[in-house]
Chain A
Amino acid sequence: MHEWALAEAVISSATQIAEKEGLKAVKEVKIRIGELQQVELDIFEFALSQLKTGILQEARFVIETVRARFRCRVCSYEWFFERNRLTGDSAEAIHFIPEAIYAFIKCPRCNSPDFEVQEGRGIWLESIIGVR
């Protein structure tokens, strides 16, 4: 997912949560991003800093990247994502739609495309700290 779109989504849902919890100001937002999102952290952080307003004005964003790990459903082999095995084109495709990975990666042991992304996909708001 694109950094700006992602940042917009984070801001919008963090705001929603903060309002629901009745916070006056948010101090810190912890975010976990899967490696498969292929997010450029610099751009993402910049986008967050540009988009944060209102209740999030003062917030600090703590971002943790989670390595992508796969498990083959056919032979149970487990392996980690290695970006440099992908061509530029497919890396870009994954950047927008991480599931495009299924078009470009197969199990290194048995060649099956039927694998599970065990970790390292998606983005999660881990926690929000603020003052009531």
Chain B
Amino acid sequence: MDPRLSIIDERLKGIKRIIAISSGKGGVGKSLIASTLALLLVRKGFRVGLLDLDFTSPSTHVILGVMNIYPKEDKGIIPADVYGIRYMSIVAYSRDETLPLRGADLSNALIELFAVTRWGDIDFLVIDMPPGISDATLDVLRLVKKIEFLIVTTSSVLAFETVKKLAKLLVELKIPILGVIENMRLGEESAISRLTANLGLRFLGTIPFEVDIENALGNIDALLRTGFAKRLDEIISGCGLFKILKS
């Protein structure tokens, strides 16, 4: 038996809610939403962790502008503090190198990371997922009991088609889905809110395509000033889903 598995629950015990930012298709804005969401939640006074689970193409460190992450070692790994976020990414260990992982190795690395990281007591752990129904998705479903999903799509039916597949899997497994965010909307018309409702899921809102968002990457102050961040803030405040019941 793999002893690492028995310690994961213990490691996640102090976390109130764990939210995976996920999508069927790649490139829809998961990493940008995950990073900005973590920053917004910190600004609202929550204790927040951010875990980048896209091991082969990690990006949240670029969005947040943190080039060198040094998690502390104390009976495990204590995540680095990044603008008030407890932050963990494989880049802390792979540095600038390419990390070509196949499925089984990827799973192993993921289990290892969950088994050693000591998040402590936090309100939200936001997880930036790799696209699609990947090994990481299946592992998170297997290992993280209190996982909830936030699904991101673009306005394209191609992206939404993959959302259906992901949602079906999650619904079958009785995993909570907070809802769907439509990102990078270009025109006025879009079928996504209707299609989302047809799936029986909650449509949380739309974020328009923002031409100059590129300039804000790597600078959190600039990022929080974008229309993107403002809109995401409205969505998370408006939906009432990002609350912690005080005990």
Task: State the A residues within 8 Å of B (CB).
Answer: 1-2, 4-6, 8-10, 12-14, 16-17, 89, 93-94, 96-100, 102-104, 113-114, 117, 121-125
Contact = CB atoms under 8 A, between A and B. Distances in A.
Contacts of A103: 93-95, 97-99
B96 to A, nearest CB: 9
Interface of B: 1-7, 10, 73, 75-77, 90, 92-95, 97-102, 105-106, 108-109, 112-113, 115-116, 118
Given A13-B6, A123-B3, A96 B105 contact: no
Given A93-B94, A99-B105, A103-B94, A124 B112 contact: no
A2 B73 contact: yes
A10 B93 CA distance: 24
A99 B106 contact: yes
Contact of A8 (B73, B75, B108): B75
A24 B112 CA distance: 31
Given A1-B115, A2-B73, A2-B76, A113 B108 contact: no
B95 A93 contact: yes
Contact of B2 (A5, A8, A99, A122): A122
Contacts of A14: 3
Contact of A97 (B1, B5, B73, B112): B112
B7 A17 contact: no
9 contacts: A5-B76, A9-B3, A13-B2, A97-B113, A98-B109, A99-B99, A100-B99, A114-B100, A125-B3
Contacts of A9: 3-4, 6-7, 115
Contact of A12 (B10, B97, B112): B10
B6 A121 contact: no
B3 A117 contact: no
A67 to B, nearest CB: 18
A1 B98 contact: no
